[in-house]
Structures are given as structure tokens and as C-alpha cells.
Structure 1
Amino acid sequence: CLGILLRGSVGPAEEEGSLLSLQRDAKGQYLFDLLCHHLNLLEKDYFGIRFVDPDKQRHWLEFTKSVVKQLRSQPPFTMCFRVKFYPADPAALKEEITRYLVFLQIKRDLYHGRLLCKTSDAALLAAYILQAEIGDYDPGKHPEGYSSKFQFFPKHSEKLERKIAEIHKTELSGQTPATSELNFLRKAQTLETYGVDPHPCKDVSGNAAFLAFTPFGFVVLQGNKRVHFIKW
């Protein structure tokens, strides 16, 4: 048997893993189905399993091929359960577990700087996360600067932290975790970089750029800006 450590699409503070065992000749589909059963996940088509090879290149596990033949590292193997195809309207997903997993993935995208947005949108998204995780603001439990204990972005300022706390205190009181997660999804899907999985390239002038497919079309990014968009 092989030992497979699978990590979910979660943020750095909540990283968890599931250790699964399977036969050496098991195919990717078997592993994927095993994990979906473990998660009680029915809406499978949005997800995939990603791994990083010894050269630090990312790959999606191919379901028709043997798991072990796709990996060049030594066991135990570490792979990640990720959203592969972002739903155009994540709030319309039927199953709560599916919406929650997509929420975790987008939260992760925000933390790793892939979901780019203006400051006001970033503050609102972070406030939704805060409401989902700690509930209503309570001055007895949440002292000054309480939002700084959470890491929503690769880096952020004290001014942004204060804005996040202000929205959380004044605008989101009474929202359940499920409602906050749903509002987070609705806001995230309106952003230009929602669902973007960038791949590095160069334009005709040799300048660094990124290519990405999204639920809505094909995009080219330079820096933090979308410079081309071809709608499906």
C-alpha cells in the first residue's frame, strides 16, 4: 500500500490533512472518488487533486492514469484537494459542503494574492471571513486590534485592519456563518481575478505576463492588471 497525505483547500492557520492508503496500481479516479466519499461530496466536477513535482512544477492528477506513475517523489506522497473549475455562480451550488469547499478555496486565493481587488472590496471580503469565523462583534471578547490576529492577505496595513473591523462591527451583525460565506462568494465572483489560476509567460515584447482561464473567459494579466480578456 501507498501512503497519501491529502491537504484541503484551506488557509495557513487551518491547514489539515487526511492520510489515505491505496494500492500501488490505483488510478487517479479511485483516489479522487475515495476522497469525495470521505468528504461526502456529490458535486465532484468542480474539484481535482493537485501535486508538486520535485522540480516545483504544479500538476493536476490525471484520473485515467496510475497515481504512482504520475509522481516522481518518494512516498508518502503529499497532494492537495483543490477547486479545478470555478463555478460561474458559486452561490447557486446545491450542496452546502460544495459551497463551503469553494469558500475555502477562494479564501486561500485571497491569502496567496491570486484574488486581486481594490481595498474596499478586500476589506469587505475579509470582514465576511471574520463574521463567518468568530460571529458577531463582542467588545468583551474582541479587544482593539482583534482583526490583526487573522491573516487574510499576503500583507496588509493597519488602516485596512481597522476598516475590516469597522465593517465587521457595524454592518454584519446577526449574519450566520453560512450567510457570511454566501455573501463572500457572491462578492468574490464579481471580481476580475475570480477563478484565475495564472501561468507565467511573456508577451511579444518579452515582458512578463500571466495567462489564465476563468469561468468567464481567457485572460492575460500583467502585474495586478488584466490587460486582455476574451469571453467564452
Structure 2
Amino acid sequence: QRDAKGQYLFDLLCHHLNLLEKDYFGIRFVDPDKQRHWLEFTKSVVKQMRAQPPFTMCFRVKFYPTDPAALKEEITRYLVFLQIKRDLYHGRLLCKTSDAALLAAYILQAEIGDYDPGKHPEGYSSKFQFFPKHSEKLERKIAEIHKSELSGQTPATSELNFLRKAQTLETYGVDPHPCKDVSGNAAFLAFTPFGFVVLQGNKRVHFIKWNEVTKMKFEGKTFYLYVSQKEEKKIVLTYFAPTPEACKHLWKCGIENQAFYKLEKSSQVRTVSSSNLFFKGSRFRYSGRVAKEVMESSAKIKREPPEIHRAGLGPSRSCPSITHGPRLSSVPRTRRRAVHISIMEGLESLRDSAHSTPVRSASHGDAFAGPGRSGRAESSERVAVIADESYSP
């Protein structure tokens, strides 16, 4: 139906996935100018599309859970696991080599099960690519952990441990927006469950908690973040997006994330406006529930756990998205040299948004079991994270 709203399509997808904790997810698409957009649920789907049909959209995590391991249902945890695994592959989730090895080993255990010398010959972990690039040393470490520490863990347990580890990383939940600061230096802005983040060079240069953000606005390509910190210290952070459309998208993402994570209830949501010469003033209102309401609603879920169709590792050209269907879920190794790079280089490959068809998955997994070990010693070495392919929506 041409007048069908975004909410109808979203509910249809969630029904297909048997997903009740759906507020963490959204539908994203890219317009002909390669600008990303979140599908607005209160508006007609067709009217939001600038391209000609058929339309390509991606169902993915929009609001990363503050504590993904605390999600009520295993199906929700599995879908978030797939998203974070995708983030890891595309260089959005950065970590030390020791953490990278542990995360990859959890993925192996979840998707191929216990180590079996009859099925897994020497160098078996090198056949799969968990990151854009990784070294032989890292591959050996992944296999070592998989062989010696994770035996007996069910897919659900390994996924849970993966989520627990990923949630502790500095770039968990980062969905980067390329910008420049007032000096013309490249930067990436992001909104996480815990606040506003600026990544520059090889480090996080700003982290502003949500309760310290007093206002966000944009004018043309310029984005302003107003901050009120301790002792009534007030600052304004200014950044420049590539285009006015990118700046508006950044602003809308900020408004939605702050409302979702900061507010106590959705009745507190207000329409927000921002003066802009190009758009003659933009108004926007977040239309969903907030995190606290979502968690309260999840606690009331009482049903038999739905069957989960998990993917097994196998060769494929792209990493999995969070939809179901008959596709495999890993990517083949393309390079064997070790590369050590910074956060900026890892995120640089995400500057342009290329569109791709969602990858699907199908096979059966086991029921949830208790958590296993998740802690590992850390080192100062960083894993390589330059993406060979552009990230899809």
C-alpha cells in the first residue's frame, strides 16, 4: 500500500522475526546521494524514499542496549550479537588484540561449536575473517582460546559472553558520523548508550554524558552541542558535517538518542526545533518509547522462548545483518599481513555509505545455558580494523 507508514513495515518485520523487545531496532536506508536515513515510523514509507522501487532497507540495531546481557529474551540477544559482530568486522568496535582474540573465539564457539581436531585442522581460524585485517599471531590466539577455554559452551552462552565483553569496550554502540572540527581536523561524532562521543586521531577526545547535554542544534553544515558540566561550566562544541543533509541526520540521531537514554518516560518527549538557513527551521520529535519503559515492558514478557535459527560459519563476501534466511555468515580471509592502526583509520572507511543487500542466515541452535568465563588479560596492542568494503546501512 502506497500510504503504509513506517510503523506498519517495522511491525511486520518484528512479527516475522518473532521479536518482542523491538524498541532497540530500526530500519535504515541510503538515498541516491549516499546519505543514510532512519525510516520514520509516523510517515509513509514511499514518501520517504527518493530512489525508485524496489527499495532496499536494512533492519538493524538503532539504540544499543545499555547492558545487552540483561535483555530478557534470547532472540533479542542473538540479534544484537549479530549486529555487534558486524560492527567488529567493519571497524566500528575497536579493541586491543587480547580482547579481539576473545571476541572472535566466542564467535567461533557460538557458530561452529566445540573444537574438533577431526573437523578443524591446523590454521582453521585463518579461514574466517572476524575483522577487516588480522595477523597470523592473532589467528593462533583465537584458535588457542577456542580450543582450551570455551569447550562445552552453547551458542547462547558464547553469545552472552561476547555481549558482556563487547559492552565494556570504549566504542560499544558507536555509529560514527564523519565531521571536521573548527580547526579543520577530521573527526567522528557518535551517540552511545552513555553519552556523546568524539573520536579523533587514535583516541576519544570528548565524552559527554547525556545529563550534561543541554541542547543540540544545526545550521546548514554546522552542528552545535551545548554542554553544562560541574560548577556551572558551560561549553559549546562545534563541528562541520559534509553536507546540510548529513548535519540534519546527525542532529536527528542526537535528539532520538538523548530522548531514548535520558528520559524517564515517553510523555516527557517534546518537539525540538533548530534554526537553519537551508531548511528554514527544522522540527523533530522522537516518537518511540524510552529505555526505562522498554526495560519495564521486557520484564513483563511471559512466553515460551521462540526458536532461534542461527547461522554457521562459512565463506561469504559480506558480514551478516540481523535478518533471517538461507545465507552464510562469515567472510573469507583476503590478507595475512599484520596491520596496526588507529581509531581514525578504522572509522575512515565508513565515511562513504555504500548500499548492499542484507545477508540472511538459517540453521538451528541450542537453548540458553548459564554464562561462562568472559574475562581476559589485556595488552596495549590494537587490532587492525580497516574495512575492505564500505559499510552498508
Q: TM-score, normalised by structure 2?
A: 0.53
Aligned to 1:12: none
Q: Distance in 2 between matches of 1:224 and 1:71?
A: 36
Structure 1 unaligned runs (5+)?
A: 1-22
The Cα shift of 1:75 comes to 1.1
Give the SS at the match of 1:221.
strand
Aligned to 1:49: 27
Q: Distance in 2 between matches of 1:141 and 1:224?
A: 40
The Cα shift of 1:58 comes to 0.8
| Cα pair 1:41 1:98 within 8 Å, conserved | yes
Indicate yes or no: 2:130 matched with 1:143. no
Q: Distance in 1 between matches of 2:156 and 2:57?
A: 28
The Cα shift of 1:130 comes to 0.3
Structure 2 unaligned runs (5+)?
A: 211-393
Q: Distance in 2 between matches of 1:64 and 1:175?
A: 43
The Cα shift of 1:49 comes to 0.1
The Cα shift of 1:91 comes to 0.4
* Percent identity between the two aligned chains: 98
Higher RCO (CA-CA < 8 Å; seq separation 6+): 2
Give the SS at the match of 2:107.
helix
The Cα shift of 1:192 comes to 0.4
The Cα shift of 1:204 comes to 2.1
**CA radius of gyration, larger in:** 2
Give the SS at the match of 1:50.
strand
Cα 1:31–1:124, aligned 2, differ >3 Å: closer, same or farther? same
Give the SS at the match of 2:121.
coil
Q: Distance in 1 between matches of 2:134 and 2:2?
A: 45
Q: Distance in 2 between matches of 1:121 and 1:148?
A: 17
Once the two structures are overlaid, the 10-residue window that deviates more, 197-206 or 102-111, is: 197-206
Once the two structures are overlaid, the 10-residue window that deviates more, 180-189 or 148-157, is: 148-157
The Cα shift of 1:132 comes to 0.2
The Cα shift of 1:31 comes to 0.3
Q: Distance in 2 between matches of 1:133 and 1:126?
A: 11
Residues 1-232 of structure 1 aligned to structure 2 (within 5 Å): 23-232=1-210
1:135-189 Cα shifts (integer Å, max 9, x gaps): 1111110001111121101111111111100110111111111000000000000
Give the SS at the match of 2:26.
strand
The Cα shift of 1:62 comes to 0.4
1:35-63 Cα shifts (integer Å, max 9, x gaps): 01111110111000000111111110000
Q: Distance in 1 between matches of 2:115 and 2:156?
A: 17
Q: Distance in 2 between matches of 1:102 and 1:229?
A: 24
Give the SS at the match of 1:200.
strand
Give the SS at the match of 2:57.
strand
Once the two structures are overlaid, the 10-residue window that deviates more, 99-108 or 214-223, is: 214-223
Give the SS at the match of 1:48.
strand
1:63-85 Cα shifts (integer Å, max 9, x gaps): 01110111111111110001000
The Cα shift of 1:224 comes to 3.8
Q: Distance in 2 between matches of 1:179 and 1:185?
A: 10
1:114-135 Cα shifts (integer Å, max 9, x gaps): 0011111111000000000011
Give the SS at the match of 1:229.
strand
Give the SS at the match of 1:77.
coil
Once the two structures are overlaid, the 10-residue window that deviates more, 180-189 or 152-161, is: 152-161
Q: Distance in 1 between matches of 2:142 and 2:206?
A: 31
| Cα pair 1:116 1:224 within 8 Å, conserved | no
The Cα shift of 1:200 comes to 0.7
Give the length in aligned residue pairs: 210
Q: Distance in 1 between matches of 2:23 and 2:133?
A: 33
The Cα shift of 1:222 comes to 1.1
The Cα shift of 1:203 comes to 1.4
Q: Where is the strand percentage greater, Structure 1 or Structure 2?
A: 1
Once the two structures are overlaid, the 10-residue window that deviates more, 208-217 or 221-230, is: 221-230
Q: Where is the helix percentage greater, Structure 1 or Structure 2?
A: 1
The Cα shift of 1:24 comes to 1.4
4+ residue segments displaced more than 4 Å: none
The Cα shift of 1:206 comes to 0.8
Give the SS at the match of 2:198.
strand
Give the SS at the match of 2:56.
strand
Q: Distance in 2 between matches of 1:223 and 1:197?
A: 17
Q: Distance in 2 between matches of 1:44 and 1:178?
A: 19
Q: Distance in 2 between matches of 1:213 and 1:177?
A: 30
Q: Distance in 2 between matches of 1:58 and 1:151?
A: 26
Give the SS at the match of 1:211.
strand
